[in-house]
Structure 1
């Protein structure tokens, strides 16, 4: 299966990458795509690790329904005194 690159700069970049790595054009493209994919996955995992402490705090403070502490607030909101 052929890939035809019509952009001169892209062609030069791929050929330069292949030359620096000592690879053929096909291997250079495959290597570049695999490395880019690994970086994207790694970035997503790093983001998940950075967000986990924040999510843990949110989970710890999350309520799944009515809490006794909410009664005064709700009474005031509805104009009731309890």
Structure 2
């Protein structure tokens, strides 16, 4: 028996860790549901249900308010 270093044993394919299909599908589905709910919440505002004339008079829907806030924040943070 030699006293020198020995080569590592080959790793069997059975012992290698592999993600199963559900380990990728579940997070992807959860992210899709999150995006769907976020879109639904942003577009389903009470102002959009009142009609076009009143929605414009009341300042727009949720999406318009978010866009206005984003522009406001960008203008405040700009040098």
Give the TM-score range, shorter chain.
0.3 to 0.5
Counting helix residues as a fraction of each chain, which structure ranks higher? 1
User: Which one scores higher on RCO, CA 8 angstroms, separation ≥ 6?
Assistant: 2
TM-score after normalising by structure 1: 0.34
